[in-house]
Each structure stands twice: as structure tokens, then as C-alpha cells.
Amino acid sequence: MKMLNLFIVSDSIGETGELMAKAAISQFRPGLQLTKLKRFTHIDSVDQLKEITELAKEQDAIILYTLVQTAMRDSLLEYCHQYNLKSVDLIGPVIHLLAESLGEKAFEEPGLVRKLDEDYFKKIEAIEFAVKYDDGRDPRGLLQADIVLVGVSRTSKTPLSQYLAHKRYKVANVPLVPEVEPPEELFQVDPAKCFGLVITPDKLNTIRKERLIAIGLNDDASYAKIERINEEIIHFEKIVRKIGCRVIDVTNRAVEETANVVINHVQQK
């Protein structure tokens, strides 16, 4: 059986080229017997391409390449013709077809797909973080969070946490209740990344009554009474003064609006 020697040439990490090469090879040699695969990654100069093609000539290698820049693809093809090398452009024809179909010019920026993957996984990590450290479940998350939200019940802490998580921020939130001392970690958090959410008593009274009715309870429970709400807000004000954090009035704000205030403040810092 003849030895198969493949060079994978990429302006990024070469993962796409290698996967495609292995998929093709498996149709002839399951287990990749007598096959040598060598990746040349982060190739960004014509001189590097010349060196690779000279080496490919010495080793009788086939070149598979995923180069997003037209000039680099053209240079490599020219060297392959010069040295009479077999080569396959794995991405150029697709880019060309899309450019024609869309009527747009490609960015020709290496590594974009990897950046997209990293962005996606960062978002998933942030969403999982928000779920894990929602509603003060584990105070250890407060010191790991990018953003910490505090407020009395029904001030949109959880939906705001999830919205910010989709923007790739790790968010933890803590409910403030007069009968329960806040976790010590809350007072160790940088005040610049902590935000208190406040709402007018009348609005909160309405929200809480609707919540009680929605879960099948009477709307005259202590939880929804103005006296209880005022007591909670006084406790909230005491805690946020101690923390020294910014307070945002969410009374007439949508979650998206509150999120923009938080994000702008964080970015400024």
C-alpha cells in the first residue's frame, strides 16, 4: 500500500482542513493506515508558502489548503504549479460562490469561524452561570461574577440576569429580605460591578398581587401589602448604602432598557 502524505495549510488552526482530509482518507484507509498528516497553521506570508511547497516537493506531499485571502490562495496555487504539486483548495470555491450569490465581498479575515465558536461557548457559559447563581443560591458565585444584582422580590433580577447572560456577562443575583442577612461575599464584591434594583411601592404592590393570583393564592397576603413592601425597601436601601453600589429604578423600564444602563456603566468602568 502506497504511503499517503498530506500537508494541511491554513491561515488559522487548520482544524477544518484536517477534518475534511480525514473524512476523505477514511473512504480508502479506515484508521488512516500509512497516512501522514502535517498541519501548517497560522500561515500569513508568501515566504511561508514557498517554504511549504518546497518541502512538499521533497516529500511528495499533496497540499490541502484553507486560506481565506485570495492573494494567498493565488500565491500557493502558483507555487504548486511551479513545483508540479497536487493541491486542493478546500474553501476558495465556496467563498467565491457565496460572494457571487450574495453580491458581497468576503471579509478575508482568518479565524472568524473560531471567533464565532468562542463567542457561542462564552454565551452558553454565561447562561449556565446565571442559572447556577440565581436568587442567591450559592454566594461563592458573587466573587466570580462580572455583574451582581441585588433587590427585593419581583424587581426582575432573574430575567435581567438571563438577558445579560445572553450578552456574555456572568451574572449573579441576590434577593434582599429583612429577616435574612445578606451573604458576607456580597460586601466583598467590587461596588462598580454591583447594581441595586429598586421599584416604587405601588408598582411592586400591583406586581406582587398579580403574582399571588397567578399561582392561585389570595392577593391580600403579607407579601403584597404596602407595609411589608416599604419595610423591604428600607432594608434594601440600607444594604446598598453599605455596599456603595449604583441603584437603578426599574419601575417603568423594560428589562432591555435596564440591561443597557448596566452594560453602559460596566463598559465605562
What does the alpha-carbon distance between residue 228 and residue 219 come to, in Å, rounded to a whole number? Answer: 13
Q: Bridge-partner residues for 87, per DSSP? A: 63
- Of 46, 91, 42, 83, which is closest to residue 64 (Cα–Cα)? 91
pLDDT tens for 206-224 read 999 999 999 998 888 899 9
Backbone angles phi, psi at 267, to 5 degrees: -65, -35
What is the extent of the structural domain holding 31?
Answer: 4-110
Task: Report residue 115's pLDDT band, with 50, 70 and 90 as the boundaries.
Answer: confident
- Which cell numbers in the block locate residue 66? 484553507
Same domain, 39 and 90: yes
What does the alpha-carbon distance between residue 139 and residue 200 come to, in Å, rounded to a whole number? Answer: 27
Q: For residue 227, what pLDDT is reported?
A: 96
Same domain, 41 and 156: no
Is-contact 257 197, C-beta < 8 A? no
The whole-number average pLDDT for the span 159-179 is 97
Provide the greatest CA pair distance for the chain: 87
Q: For residue 69, what pLDDT is reported?
A: 96
Name the pairing type of β-strands 147-151 and 171-175. parallel
pLDDT tens for 232-242 read 999 999 999 99
Is-contact 211 154, C-beta < 8 A? yes
The structure's pTM equals: 0.65
Is-contact 6 40, C-beta < 8 A? no
Three-state DSSP at 57 gives: helix
Same domain, 59 and 122: no
Same domain, 121 and 106: no
Same domain, 50 and 99: yes
Same domain, 54 and 179: no
The total number of structural domains that make up the chain: 2
pLDDT over 70, % of the chain = 100
Q: What is the CATH number of the domain that holds 65?
A: 3.40.50.2300
What does the alpha-carbon distance between residue 61 and residue 209 come to, in Å, rounded to a whole number? Answer: 74
What does the alpha-carbon distance between residue 69 and residue 110 come to, in Å, rounded to a whole number? Answer: 8
Same domain, 142 and 197: yes
Q: For residue 2, what pLDDT is reported?
A: 85
